[in-house]
Amino acid sequence: MKRLTTLFVLSLLILSCKKEVKGLIVEKAMVVSAREEASKIGADILKKGGNAFDAMVATELALAVAYPYAGNIGGGGFMVYRKNDGEIGALDYREKAPLAAHETMYLDSLGNVIKNKSTLGATAVGVPGTVAGVYAAHKRFGKLPIEEIIQPVIELAKRGVVVTKKQEKRIKKYQPNFPKANKDEILFDKQWKAGDTIKYNALATTLTRIQKNGRDEFYKGETAKKLAAFLQDNGGYVTEEDLAKYEAKWRTPITFNYDNLRLISMSPPSSGGICLAQIMNAVEPYNLHELGHNTVKSIQVITEAERRAYADRSFFLGDPDFVEIPVETLISKEYTKDRMNNFSFEKPTKSSEVSHGNIQMVESDETTHYSIVDQFGNAVSVTTTLNGAYGSKLYCTELGFFLNNEMDDFSSKPGVPNMFGLIGAEANKIVPEKRMLSSMTPTIVEKEGNLYLVVGTPGGSTIITSVLQTILNVHEYNMGMQEAINQPRFHHQWLPDVIKMEPNSFDPKVKDKLKSLGYELDETNSPVIGKVEGIMVLPNGKLEGGADPRGDDKAVGF
């Protein structure tokens, strides 16, 4: 008896020593983003009485200052929202192809892809959508005057932002490419060290003009003229006419159910919502909870679902204003059930036996996401990007920002991969004024009709699978927001036919068994899969933030 009691006490001790992982918990409102400075500016706007859409404007612009790696006014993004009355919607401020664009613009006379033309420098730049996006969001739903919202961002740009260790490493890594894209030296050529403060005076001046003159300053005003002249001078395609014609677009989000959850995610031109729906529909019939977290069988089910969804991605998806997409069929439970018919726990399905498209992808942790819940119960989930790290690496010194290389998200030529390894099909070919296909997956989850989760992540092709695993960690494995985000992640995207895994984070026995079944594992290419920012509404109504420890990410709230 004494021995049993000792064992019981020991077990209790072990249990109590198992550190409980919890993110920031607040009563009312929260912003989670890639940098504390941006989360704080967003949260301060909420504290002043602003709503989630006001905070979206503030956080988006603050990321352009504090996180130039992916935060931007020279790129684009997507917002999914759910208002406190249950109304949902989506905003597409994706970049688009300039008027001078054409199907073969990145091919030489022999029809071969010209190296770097769609990734590096002015030729890679699509018409930016971010400024139109924040103004559209504010015009429809904002509460505070936009001038008041932009003011703290301008102050941050003037005051400067302290370089973190991770940022120092990032700048160093990409520095060799800056002179290839820019004629003159740029702010980021300097050997910045952790602890240094970078001041963004040129960006402050541009933002001040936008604050004074509104969104047209960027698309028709002095900024537009300077930007178009700069791009033309560097051999780019974007003109004043392209900027003047740009509009953000309201879209109907993708919605689907999983158990007692309703998911609201981004519609085309992002593939995110459709792919997420396909994967979740495919795994729903299996009891993942019983199969266990990151076990052989659960990894098999998720991998096989991902393989099939990604096989469909490039074949069917593109800008819905230019191509017919069979959305209802692709996200129907019957369709995915049919796709999973040949799945067996005995062995992998070969990707060569799964039809449609021809996709290969490589990893990337660029792009950035932020999640917001306000004190009124409104939620926004936003993913925004320059595409590559620091976009095209082309930096307009006079205006103070990097330009995107989003044109690379089009398929330059069927059969040739873009920087994410994506080999596109007809649906995503280049056409003037068309939006390029994306993987961004800003997502909001309801549980039994109430707001439950706000999630999203950067990560190129791994965005969809990182969002998926975070939601499954919460729903199937009863994890809190921070705990769900901290878990190691894996990824399969049909081709190459490998399961990518974050290194040294999965049980060696699980890996051995998967290999013995015939799965190829790759731990070499993905030090990090995704960088998720999430907010969970707890049963008591409080909010738990999850800021991904893989970056400098931070939740701020009250």
Q: Provide the annotated active-site residues.
A: 367
CA torsion sign for 139, 387, 399, 551 is positive
DSSP characters over 210-270:
HHHH-THHHHTSHHHHHHHHHHHHTT----HHHHHH---EEEPPEEEEETTEEEEEPPTTB
Non-local CB neighbours of 549 within 8 Å, separated by 6+ positions: 485, 486
Alpha-carbon distance 197 to 114, whole Å? 38
List the one residue from 439, 462, 482, 493 that touches ligand GLY (CB under 6 A): 439
Label residue 442 exposed, middle or buried (CB < 10 Å: 0-12, 13-18, 19+).
Answer: buried
Counting contacts by CB under 6 A, is residue 130 touching ligand GLY?
no
Structural tokens at position 43: 């949260």
User: Is 367 among the residues that bind ligand GLY (CB under 6 A)?
Assistant: yes
H/E element, 454: strand 450-456
Shortest distance, CB of residue 439 to ligand GLY, whole angstroms? 4
Task: Tell me 181's DSSP state.
Answer: H
Q: How far is the CB of 146 from ligand GLY (least distance, A)?
A: 26
Q: Which of 409, 446, 476, 533 binds ligand GLY (CB under 6 A)?
A: 409
Could you check whether the bond before residue 488 is cis, i.e. omega within 30 degrees of 0?
no
Q: Least distance to ligand GLY from the beta carbon of 309, Å?
A: 15
503 secondary structure, DSSP code = T
| Contact pick of 303, 385, 473, 482 for ligand GLY (by CB under 6 A) | 385
Task: Return the beta strands (E) in 83-132 as ranges.
Answer: 88-93
Task: List CB contacts of 168: < 8 A, sequence separation 6 or more.
Answer: 192, 193, 194
| 411 belongs to the binding site for ligand GLY (CB under 6 A) | no
Q: Are 527 and 503 in contact (CB under 8 A)?
A: yes
Stretch that binds ligand GLY, among 43-51, 350-358, 434-442, 538-546 (CB under 6 A): 434-442
Q: Is 374 in the site for ligand GLY (CB under 6 A)?
A: no
30 touching ligand GLY, by CB under 6 A:
no
**Least distance in Å: CB of 116 to ligand GLY?**
17
Name the minimum Å distance from CB 94 to ligand GLY: 8
Q: How many residues bind ligand GLY (CB under 6 A)?
A: 8
**Which is nearer to ligand GLY, 361 or 451 (by Cβ)?**
361
Contact with ligand GLY (CB under 6 A): which of 438, 443, 466, 470?
A: 438
> Could you give the string, one character per residue 217-246, with x where binding to ligand GLY holds by CB under 6 A and - elsewhere?
------------------------------
Bridge partner list, 445: 263, 453
How would DSSP label each residue in 457-481?
Answer: ---GGGHHHHHHHHHHHHHTT---H
Q: Do residues 55 and 374 make contact, with C-beta atoms less than 8 angstroms apart?
A: yes
The one-letter code for the residue type at 528 is V
Helix, coil or strand: residue 384: strand
The structure tokens 């769900």 sit at 484
What's at 124, amino acid-wise?
A
Give the shortest CB-245-to-ligand GLY separation in angstroms: 21
Report helix angle 201-213 to 146-159, nearest 10.
Answer: 170
State the nearest-atom distance from the C-beta of 241 to ligand GLY, in Å.
Answer: 24
Phi, psi angle pair for 429, to nearest 5°: -75, 160
At a CB cut-off of 8 Å and minimum separation 6, what does 503 contact?
Answer: 523, 524, 526, 527
Member of 61, 440, 479, 481 binding ligand GLY (CB under 6 A): 440
Min CB(387)–ligand GLY separation in Å = 4
Least spacing, CB of residue 195 vs ligand GLY, in Å: 31
DSSP 8-state code for residue 33: E
Q: Which of 94/262 has CB closer to ligand GLY?
A: 94
92 lies in the site for ligand GLY, by CB under 6 A: no
Distances (CA, A) of 403 to 291, 365, 395: 45, 18, 6
Answer yes or no whether residue 460 interacts with ligand GLY by CB under 6 A: yes
Nearer to ligand GLY by C-beta: 427 or 440?
440
Q: Closest distance between ligand GLY and the C-beta of residue 203, in Å?
A: 22
User: Residue 371 interacts with ligand GLY (CB under 6 A)?
Assistant: no
For ligand GLY, which stretch binds (CB under 6 A), given 285-293, 435-443, 471-479, 525-533? 435-443
Q: Which is nearer to ligand GLY, 336 or 438 (CB)?
A: 438
Helix 146-159 / helix 52-66 crossing angle, nearest 10 deg: 20
Residue nearest to ligand GLY (CB): 438
Does 422 help bind ligand GLY (rule: CB under 6 A)?
no
**Minimal CA–CA distance to 200: which of 168, 167, 147, 154?**
154
Establish if 387 lies at the interface with ligand GLY (CB under 6 A). yes
Q: Which stretch binds ligand GLY (CB under 6 A): 332-340, 433-441, 495-503, 516-524?
A: 433-441
Residues in touch with ligand GLY (CB under 6 A): 367, 385, 387, 409, 438-440, 460
